[in-house]
């Protein structure tokens, strides 16, 4: 990861980065960035959405990075799934990228930038990170994630317990989301569940009970 952010070696970061990578590599790159620049939680803003990132979201981001850092040298805003920016949101973000507030950094995360506004891409330092592993679902996993939709609540709660024992909550949710996205075209009724899982995943960064989180998600399957 070190060679991907060479400008951090002198602690002189660019004002905006576009990280093109798989989800695991994206997470690692943000963690590296935060650790390298010693950015504390009050100065970090995470923006994520499962369907679209709207102009209202960008307005909140702009307000955040416009404030002075609280306990770090920089304010950091991370936009997950940045390829989901609406046209209005992209245009609003472009203005910030052209005239960034002092001591502010924006990291855009995406698996591809093909659909992104070219003017936004051109104003970011692009960091491409190869995937470490194949993200195709193995047949065994695919059968598991499909069967969850047919399980009764007792079986789902037992599954939650097994996931907690293996400490695989985030990995499980990521893979389950991949499966659900593959069946959405044929069965769009599961869109509500995809959105709910994305929303609940945000709580993983807090010290929340993972078993309770999984059980709440499983209760939503209907």
Residue-level pLDDT at 135 = 42
Give the pLDDT of residue 102: 93
Instruction: Kindly report, residue by residue over 143-167, the tens digit of the pLDDT.
Output: 778 788 888 888 888 888 888 877 7
Give pTM, 2 decimals: 0.61
Using 50, 70 and 90 to split pLDDT, how confident is the model at 134?
A: very low
Band (pLDDT 50/70/90 cuts) for residue 131 is low
CA distance 2 to 209: 33
Question: Is the CB of residue 200 less than 8 Å from the CB of residue 194?
Answer: no
Q: How far apart, in whole angstroms, are the C-alpha atoms of residue 149 and residue 155?
A: 11
45 backbone φψ class: left, alpha, beta (φ>0; ψ -120 to 50): beta
Name the β-bridge partners of 78: 46, 107
Percent of the chain with pLDDT over 70: 94
Containing 119, the helix (H) or strand (E) segment is helix 118-122
**Which pLDDT band, with edges at 50, 70 and 90, does 12 fall under?**
confident
Comparing 67 with 215, which gets the higher pLDDT? 67
Q: Which two tokens stand for residue 40?
A: 């504390």
Q: What pLDDT shows up at residue 41?
A: 92
């Amino acid at each position: 990861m070190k060679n991907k952010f060479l400008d951090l070696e002198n602690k002189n970061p660019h004002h905006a980065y576009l990280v093109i990578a798989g989800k695991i590599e994206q997470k690692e790159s943000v963690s590296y960035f935060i650790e390298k620049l010693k950015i504390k939680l009050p100065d970090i803003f995470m923006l994520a959405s499962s369907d679209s990132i709207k102009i209202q979201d960008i307005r909140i981001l702009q307000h955040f990075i416009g404030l002075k850092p609280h306990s770090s040298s920089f304010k950091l805003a991370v936009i997950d799934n940045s390829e989901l920016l609406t046209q209005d949101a992209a245009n609003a973000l472009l203005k910030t990228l052209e005239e960034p507030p002092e001591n502010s950094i924006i990291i855009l995360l995406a698996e591809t930038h093909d659909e992104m506004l070219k003017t936004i891409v051109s104003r970011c330092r692009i960091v491409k990170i190869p995937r470490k592993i194949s993200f195709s679902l193995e047949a065994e996993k695919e059968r598991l994630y499909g069967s969850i939709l047919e399980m009764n609540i007792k079986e789902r709660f037992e599954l939650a317990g097994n996931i907690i024992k293996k400490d695989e909550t985030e990995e499980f949710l990521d893979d389950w989301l991949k499966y659900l996205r593959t069946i959405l075209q044929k069965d769009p009724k599961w869109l509500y569940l995809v959105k709910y899982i994305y929303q609940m995943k945000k709580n993983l960064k807090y010290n929340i009970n993972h078993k309770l989180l999984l059980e709440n998600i499983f209760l939503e399957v209907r």
